[in-house]
Structure 1
Amino acid sequence: MLLKTTATTIATPPLFSLFKPSFSVSKLPLLKPFNSPCNPTLKPSTLRMSWLNKLGFGARSPSDSPVDSSTSSIAQGPDDDIPAPGQHFAQFGAGCFWGVELAFQRVPGVTKTEVGYTQGYLHNPTYEDICSGTTNHSEVVRVQYDPKECSYDTLLDVFWARHDPTTLNRQGNDVGTQYRSGIYFYTPEQEKAALESKERQQKVLNRKIVTEILPAKKFYRAEEYHQQYLAKGGRFGFRQSTEKGCNDPIRCYG
């Protein structure tokens, strides 16, 4: 392509060569949203997904895969996974699931934790799907625990202490329906304990608790890079202890 001027003729390179990244898009780090220090309302993950979409690398979105009645019924079905023999499941949503998982990992009697998505209408959602705010999924931690060593009430205490249950669809600077507060029970006994615990907690707070208490629905395990994220080093390679009973402060973004 030639650019003509009154003085001379300048050869210009093709437009694409002006934008030739020195990195591979496939090797971009997968990051959890956090607030930009320059704009507290703008999440870097939103920016990243936006320009990746423009380059043709966008992830599947709910509009690309419309929810039909058959897949919606699967997503809204009960969590039919089975815990290890002698173990029980519990499910909690308390904002960004990284820090919440680490808090439960440290509890004596907890034998396994997984982070994932639940309560939504899309079957097999991706992280980008749930961040769209259109699928109704909540970020949750599914806890497997030994009831002989850890009571459900102990888990509830950890849940209340880890987040602010009075902020709707928000924990700190993380905003969106996926960050809502929720207790998702597996048994009538868990439901009763959750309701009683919520009532006790309400008496010590001067704002209304907005925590939802609902039956546990199908659990979709989050992408592998989300699992035990802080224990593996988080964003900056700073590994945080999962030792039982550890009281070290939890740095949510590593």
Structure 2
Amino acid sequence: MHLLRPTTATITTFTTTTSSSAFLITSHSSSPLSLSTVPTRAAFPSSPYYPTKHSSSLSSPQKMSSWLGKLGFGARSPTESPTDPSLSSSIPQSPDTDPPAAGQEFAQFGAGCFWGVELAFQRIPGVTKTEVGYTQGYVDKPTYNDVCSGTTGHSEVVRVQYDPKECSYETLLDAFWARHDPTTLNRQGNDVGTQYRSGIYFYTPEQEKAALESKERQQKILNRKIVTEIMPAKKFYRAEEYHQQYLEKGGRFGFKQSTEKGCNDPIRCYG
């Protein structure tokens, strides 16, 4: 975490849609800041973005550092979360062996901030459970703080449990592509960092095949190279409880968003 120098920051929220695909992107513009780049949501865990224009003044780097420290985002030692796999436990790189409910199957997707992604999957008929968490990293039992440090290699993901008799894996893939921009490396909008990378993490050879074919079809639609990684599902670490069903519970402002199956209401990504 870099200390911020005194500045007045203006953060503006807007949405864009592309003509080549149906994904929804939430982005932000700001006045020039005298600071090093940090993932916005890491600095403002309750809600990094605001539905309307919002201005705030930071009086001093000391006060900012103290404030961030109280929230659990103080400076970290380089040795706290090693990025070298040889220095880390092999457990995080093992397969996800958690069993789904009887007759159900798992799927894992990373598409930026997991709050809005989870709600999109919650609304799909045939999806019976969703959980947000961390995977693909090198540190065992990571916390949100660890993941936001950018040193553990984890991705924010949604683990979807679905009934294959009511919901096909291809339906989940369609929702995945529609939810984000798969051509931006390690970022979605103003969320920047490896934890926001685009990824499909498969459990079976059939899922892998479907994912690769889906990516190929999607690439023909887009005019920029897709950077989505397609890899085996690894150990899933469930995120802290306040992250679970965050938007369903009301997000930052307490405005609950519908999880009704088939609901097409716009998703307010941060509440």
Q: Same fold (TM over 0.5)?
A: yes
Residue 185 of structure 1: aligned partner: 202
Deviation of the 1:51 alpha carbon: 2.5
User: Equivalences for 1:94-243 in 2 at 5 Å?
Assistant: 94-243=111-260
Root-mean-square deviation (CA), in Å? Answer: 2.5
- Secondary structure in 1 matching 2:250: coil
Contact 2:28 2:189 in 1 (8 A): no
Ranges in structure 2 where 5+ consecutive residues have no aligned partner: 1-26, 46-63
1:51 aligns to 2:94 (yes or no): no
Q: 1:223/1:134 Cα in 2 relative to 1: closer, same or farther (>3 Å)? A: same
Task: Determine the C-alpha separation between the residues in 2 that align with 1:53 and 1:237.
Answer: 23
Deviation of the 1:46 alpha carbon: 2.8
Deviation of the 1:59 alpha carbon: 6.9
Q: 1:126/1:39 Cα in 2 relative to 1: closer, same or farther (>3 Å)? A: farther
Work out which of the two has the higher radius of gyration on C-alpha atoms and give 1 or 2: 1
Identity across aligned pairs (percent)? 76
Q: Which stretch has the larger CA shift, 140-149 or 59-68?
A: 59-68
Deviation of the 1:64 alpha carbon: 5.6
Task: Determine the C-alpha separation between the residues in 2 that align with 1:61 and 1:121.
Answer: 17
Contact 2:42 2:148 in 1 (8 A): no
Contact 2:43 2:73 in 1 (8 A): no
Q: Which stretch has the larger CA shift, 222-231 or 45-54?
A: 45-54
Alignment size in residue pairs? 221
Task: Determine the C-alpha separation between the residues in 2 that align with 1:44 and 1:81.
Answer: 29
Deviation of the 1:57 alpha carbon: 5.9
- Secondary structure in 2 matching 1:75: helix
Ranges in structure 1 where 5+ consecutive residues have no aligned partner: 1-33
Task: Determine the C-alpha separation between the residues in 1 that align with 2:222 and 2:261.
Answer: 29
Task: Determine the C-alpha separation between the residues in 1 that align with 2:71 and 2:262.
Answer: 47
Task: Determine the C-alpha separation between the residues in 2 that align with 1:137 and 1:126.
Answer: 10
The structure in which a higher percent of residues are strand is 2
Q: 1:57/1:232 Cα in 2 relative to 1: closer, same or farther (>3 Å)? A: closer
Look up the equivalent residue of 1:197 and give its one-letter code. Answer: S
Q: 1:60/1:118 Cα in 2 relative to 1: closer, same or farther (>3 Å)? A: farther
Look up the equivalent residue of 2:228 and give its one-letter code. Answer: T
- Secondary structure in 2 matching 1:141: strand
